[in-house]
Amino acid sequence: MLTIYGPQEPRTAARPHQFCDRQSRRSLLSIGSLAALGVVRGVVGGVAGGGSGWSLPELLAADAAAGRRSNPKSVIMIYLVGGPPHQDMFDLKPNAPKEFAGPWRPIATNVAGIEICEAFPHLAKIADKYTLIRSLVGNQADHDAAQVFHGRDTRKAKPAGGWPQFGSMVSSVIGPVSPQAPPFVSLCYPCTHGPYNEPGPGFVGTAHAAFKPLGPTRREMVLDGITLDRLADRGSLLRSVDTLRRDIDTTTAMVGMDAFTEQAFGLLTSSRLADALDLSKEDPRVVARYGTGDPTVFMDDNGAPRVPQSMLVARRLIEAGVRVVTLNYSKWDWHGGPGNSIFKREAEDFPVFDQALSALVEDLHARGLADDCAVVVWGEFGRTPKISDIVGRDHWPQVNCAFLAGGGMRHGQVIGATDRIGAEAIARPVTFGDVYATLFHHLGIDVASTTLTDPSGRPQYLADDGGTPIRELV
């Protein structure tokens, strides 16, 4: 629990370290874990003082001036852990030899000329609401979720501190929508296979790290043992935070914590974020539409759980005012083997994925969010065109696929094409940088002119390889 102890709270063996007003360091560090969420370019004047650049009220005013007060632009990014099989999902090759085509057949969608896998009947009915990119190039050959989350090829040189992931860049550039919600929330489960894990905030620092409400942090979000008088005494709380800062060495984490003040008070006095994470507050019929999975079962023991309700939580977080939500979903690294053929695994995963993703897309439209919230679904590479002797598909960096929905984009289309066996892009190659430029454009950020300054003082563009917004979409 996130507990704030008032003056009446005694010192105990369990809480030996308290400050002048008897708040434990643990409580204040818990506040910091919630609060160092990404207030951008200084803290709010009049609360902590001494900030530079834009204050939170100025950021909110900028949102209002851009017409985003009631409907801020947002992004949900879904990482299919391990690399999804493009030729079995959205780019089937029914006329290829059997050792390439596999057993799945294409079915028509509600858009003439677009076909997808027969295991996706729900998605087939709403193809007018999304776009398929069949020619995503520039993929790495090995597992590395980092490229999915920031669009950079990690084999290339990187600045000190590393590249920030997308949500951290957004937090740094435009900050939160309101004090009641962090700008960036990650619903990604930690995988035991390191390359499956998302990167951190990189050189923009911990003030712009993702808020991760899974595990211990989730328990710390419930306010316990707080009186209204105690919460009203903001000055006392601030003085305690100042004591904490003097009491410990200055570290990167604590420097990031300096950016938190207004965000912290907003989070502590609002139930918006905790409510968004609580699916018991959602209509049971909506929960059933998305489907549910067990978050404790990690696919193959090292992937992510197959948890379709994460997509529903992501939508609820967007409604609560979060700008960027990332999540990882299941494991798609299907190399085959005894009793574990790729097609057996696809038969298990595809229907659940079809139900959840179609529910998310339809839900955004039903709730009036489709123009404001963009959704991108992808993995780190495609799979080999030829099926292996142990009935699997291996890593294939030559081409990949991506799914885009919402964001007020022009949907109901396919961008790019591959050859007759799905091995190479033969039309309209698209890069990770192009997809990211499109997402930034949706958020109102001009990638041609916006930069972030790395630790060496060099400006760094937000999209890699000169990425530009995809003209077919925007």
pLDDT band at residue 217, thresholds of 50, 70 and 90?
A: low
Residue predicted with more confidence, 352 or 31: 352
Classify the phi-psi angles of 302: left when phi > 0, otherwise alpha if psi is within -120 to 50, otherwise beta: alpha
pLDDT at 178 (0 to 100): 87
- Reported for 276-285, long-range contacts at CB under 8 A and 24+ positions apart, including other chains, are 276/181, 276/313, 276/316, 276/317, 276/319, 276/320, 276/322, 277/213, 277/218, 277/221, 277/313, 277/316, 277/317, 279/309, 279/312, 279/313, 279/316, 282/312, 282/316
pLDDT at 45 (0 to 100): 30
pLDDT band at residue 267, thresholds of 50, 70 and 90?
A: low
pLDDT band at residue 289, thresholds of 50, 70 and 90?
A: very high
Judged against a pLDDT cut of 60, whether residue 237 lies above it is answered with: no
- What residues does each domain of the chain span? 67-216+272-466
pLDDT at 263 (0 to 100): 56
pTM attached to this predicted model: 0.80
pLDDT at 214 (0 to 100): 79
pLDDT tens per residue across span 340-396? 999 999 999 999 999 999 999 999 999 999 999 999 999 999 999 999 999 999 999
Pick the CATH number of 67-216+272-466 from 3.20.20.70, 3.40.50.300, 2.60.40.10, 3.40.720.10: 3.40.720.10
pLDDT at 239 (0 to 100): 54
pLDDT tens per residue across span 65-110? 554 445 799 999 999 999 999 999 999 999 999 999 999 999 999 9
User: Once rounded to an integer, what is the mean pLDDT over residues 235-247?
Assistant: 51
pLDDT tens per residue across span 122-178? 999 999 999 999 999 999 999 999 999 999 988 889 999 999 999 999 999 999 998
